[in-house]
């Protein structure tokens, strides 16, 4: 499809050096993997900065990088809502108010927290859903990357799929969660440094930020929006029609800023696991805050080049275009790689491609290392082979199960990748299901942590009710122009949202509200089965308050939180 995008020896050399280091880290950690705790929980030994960068790197998977650059072209700086309002408040909340319970309860996973706080059935439901969804997500991201490599670099689809899966398997099998985390830190730096040249070159090409704004004006006006819509964030959110996202400010605020982001950042074990691997309560609380610092600036790395790409697409002299799909629409997900191709000569090009591979690997390793923990502790240890009490035997046994489930997870991911290649809609499907599961989960965990009266029966029913309402909402509404039932309206088409995103926001809001109401009502009606003593360390009002007096002031979570919120507010005002 795209001739002339060939890599030279220097590009391959860089890629090979990267692979050597990634595998080397796994190899170096192999001898420390003596039991399941070391393998699945990194022995709870990570310094805060390592866990913090891994925290953000797991989230910076290939789908995120490709998707967000594409959104930069489609929606402009409005995309930063996913980063500033849509991540920072949730990350700060997780750090300050939730990590003390996740970490302090000694739970080894989010499902296990549910078991300690509520009961077995709530844990079981969450663990099984999480295991299935995580593996599907991992497979879909593998598929996305392999198809990109095939279309743009001309690499063999099957070969790139199997090869990259094999590398991820090798280093997570050898070094477990520690290896995944250490590699995520390495990958974080490669993604940043590898993509910096395109930020610099694309902006320079267009005459800097102001030059880009000038050239954007006519393009955006032709689409029927105000001239500066693509370079502002909140200015045109007074009415849904005034901005390309098609959402009003309160939809963004409640849907993205509250339900979706808290549902994702505060309950997703994939993310929380990184903070749980930290070496102390303070380090665990600081993990999301340290992650938040780079998170706020990632828009400049991946959204800004996307905006530049929109200008380039509309400037015939630049010779830039996106590949088209079957219906003749540009494939926005390919924006990032087309920019690499536009600006980078041999050498840094290899680094840019390596950055994409790194983002893919950090996402996939994150999925696999979260999957094997939930599988080993919450499913296998709970239902298949409980702890026998003979510690040396148990340690060895669960380490083996952890390792085997890593292989199993990767193999199922590969199968899911092929499934994704058969059904194009599977990604939409998965995202929809995710938003239906996460929002009720947040309601239930939040109520559990801050209201001691919440009961297990209520939580379990609340989870199901929230999911059920989300399903119904999705069944009755649809985004305008939807061509498949995966996008909604599969029961009766009653209400049309202007865009898909608005529908997603409202699905999550409905699910969260229902789940909260049901859980609260049933908690008041059912008997509290756990004593206050049992709930110590799990519920806010029954846990001794944390004192930060003995921590140096600049390492205190409160100091970091203020810093994070100040920078986020400053950025929001700057790009209002």
Cα–Cα distance for residue pair 487/485, rounded to 1 Å = 5
Minimum CB distance to other proteins, residue 31 (Å): 8
Minimum CB distance to other proteins, residue 309 (Å): 15
Using the structure block, give the residue that is written with the tokens 């399941």: 36
Closest to other proteins by CB, 42 or 85 = 42
**What 8-state DSSP symbol labels residue 50?**
H
Minimum CB distance to other proteins, residue 4 (Å): 11
Length of the chain: 576
| Cα dihedral: 237, 239, 245, 249 (round 10) | 40
**Residues 417 and 142: beta-carbon distance below 8 Å:** yes
Minimum CB distance to other proteins, residue 399 (Å): 14
Minimum CB distance to other proteins, residue 201 (Å): 6
130-163 burial code (b ≥16 CB/10 A, e <16): bbebbbbbbbbbbbbbbbbbbbbbebebeebbee
Closest to other proteins by CB, 345 or 386 = 345
Q: Classify 324 as helix, strand or coil.
A: strand
Closest to other proteins by CB, 197 or 251 = 197
Closest to other proteins by CB, 205 or 378 = 205
Minimum CB distance to other proteins, residue 382 (Å): 25
Residue 547, burial from CB neighbour count under 10 angstroms (0-12, 13-18, 19+): exposed
**What 8-state DSSP symbol labels residue 1?**
-
Nearest to 57 by CA among 270, 262, 264, 352: 270
Cα–Cα distance for residue pair 188/178, rounded to 1 Å = 15
Closest to other proteins by CB, 201 or 313 = 201
Dihedrals phi, psi of 496, to nearest 5 degrees: -110, 125
159 contacts: CB under 8 Å, gap ≥ 6: none
Minimum CB distance to other proteins, residue 268 (Å): 24
Percentages of the chain per state (helix, strand, coil), in multiples of 5: 75, 0, 25
294 contacts: CB under 8 Å, gap ≥ 6: 53, 56, 188, 192
**Which residues of the chain form contacts with other proteins (CB under 8 A)?**
10, 13-14, 17-18, 21, 24-25, 28-29, 31-32, 38, 42-47, 50, 178, 182, 185-186, 189, 193, 196-197, 201, 204-205, 342-348, 351
Nearest to 308 by CA among 198, 154, 184: 198
Minimum CB distance to other proteins, residue 406 (Å): 17
Closest to other proteins by CB, 279 or 528 = 279
Minimum CB distance to other proteins, residue 359 (Å): 16
Closest to other proteins by CB, 181 or 379 = 181
Our measurement of the distance from residue 406's CA atom to the centroid of its chain's CA atoms, rounded to an integer in Å, reads 20
Closest to other proteins by CB, 266 or 337 = 337
317 contacts: CB under 8 Å, gap ≥ 6: none
Closest to other proteins by CB, 341 or 487 = 341
């Amino acid at each position: 499809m795209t001739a002339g995008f060939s890599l030279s020896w220097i590009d391959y050399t860089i890629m090979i050096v990267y692979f050597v280091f990634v595998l080397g880290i796994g190899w170096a950690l192999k001898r420390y993997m003596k039991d399941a705790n070391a393998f699945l929980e990194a022995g709870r030994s990570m310094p805060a900065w390592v866990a913090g960068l891994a925290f953000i790197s797991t989230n910076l998977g290939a789908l995120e990088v490709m998707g967000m650059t594409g959104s930069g072209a489609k929606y402009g700086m409005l995309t930063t809502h996913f980063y500033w309002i849509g991540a920072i408040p949730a990350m700060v909340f997780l750090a300050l108010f939730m990590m003390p319970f996740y970490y302090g309860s000694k739970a080894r996973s989010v499902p296990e927290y549910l078991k300690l706080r509520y009961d077995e059935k709530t844990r079981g439901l969450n663990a099984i859903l999480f295991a299935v969804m995580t593996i599907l997500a991992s497979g879909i991201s593998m598929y996305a990357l392999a198809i990109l490599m095939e279309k743009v670099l001309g690499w063999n689809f099957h070969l790139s799929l199997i090869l990259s899966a094999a590398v991820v398997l090798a280093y997570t099998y050898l070094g477990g969660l520690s290896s995944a985390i250490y590699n995520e830190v390495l990958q974080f730096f490669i993604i940043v440094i590898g993509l910096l040249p395109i930020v610099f070159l694309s902006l320079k090409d267009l005459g800097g930020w102001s030059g880009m704004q000038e050239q954007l004006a006519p393009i955006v006006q032709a689409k029927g929006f105000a001239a500066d819509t693509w370079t502002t964030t909140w200015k045109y959110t007074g009415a849904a029609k005034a901005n390309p996202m098609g959402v009003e400010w309160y939809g963004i605020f409640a849907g993205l800023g509250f339900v979706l982001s808290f549902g994702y950042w505060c309950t997703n074990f994939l993310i929380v696991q990184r903070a749980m691997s930290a070496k102390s309560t303070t380090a665990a609380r600081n993990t999301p805050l340290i992650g938040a610092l780079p998170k706020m600036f990632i828009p400049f790395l991946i959204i800004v080049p996307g905006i530049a790409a929109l200008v380039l697409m509309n400037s015939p002299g630049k010779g830039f275009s996106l590949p088209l799909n079957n219906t003749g629409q540009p494939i926005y997900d390919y924006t990032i790689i087309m920019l690499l191709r536009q600006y980078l000569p041999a050498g840094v090009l290899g680094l840019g491609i390596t950055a994409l591979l790194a983002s893919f690997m950090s996402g996939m390793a994150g999925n696999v290392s979260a999957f094997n923990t939930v599988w080993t502790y919450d499913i296998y240890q709970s239902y298949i082979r409980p702890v026998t009490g003979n510690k040396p035997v148990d340690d060895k046994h669960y380490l083996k199960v952890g390792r085997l489930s890593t292989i199993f997870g990767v193999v199922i991911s590969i199968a899911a990748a092929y499934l994704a290649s058969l059904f194009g809609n599977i990604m939409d499907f998965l995202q929809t299901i995710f938003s239906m599961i996460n929002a009720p989960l947040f309601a239930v965990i939040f109520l559990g942590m801050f209201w001691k009266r919440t009961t297990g029966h209520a939580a379990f029913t609340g989870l199901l009710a929230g999911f059920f309402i989300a399903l119904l909402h999705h069944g009755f509404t649809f985004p305008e122009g939807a061509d498949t039932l995966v996008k909604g309206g599969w029961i009766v088409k009653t209400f049309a949202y202007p865009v898909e995103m608005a529908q997603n926001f409202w699905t999550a809001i409905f699910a969260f509200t229902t789940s909260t109401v049901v859980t609260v009502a049933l908690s008041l009606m059912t008997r509290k089965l756990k004593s206050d003593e049992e709930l110590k360390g799990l519920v806010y009002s029954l846990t001794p308050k944390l004192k930060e007096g003995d921590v140096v002031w600049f390492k205190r979570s409160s100091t970091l939180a203020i810093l994070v919120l100040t920078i986020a507010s400053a950025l929001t005002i700057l790009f209002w």
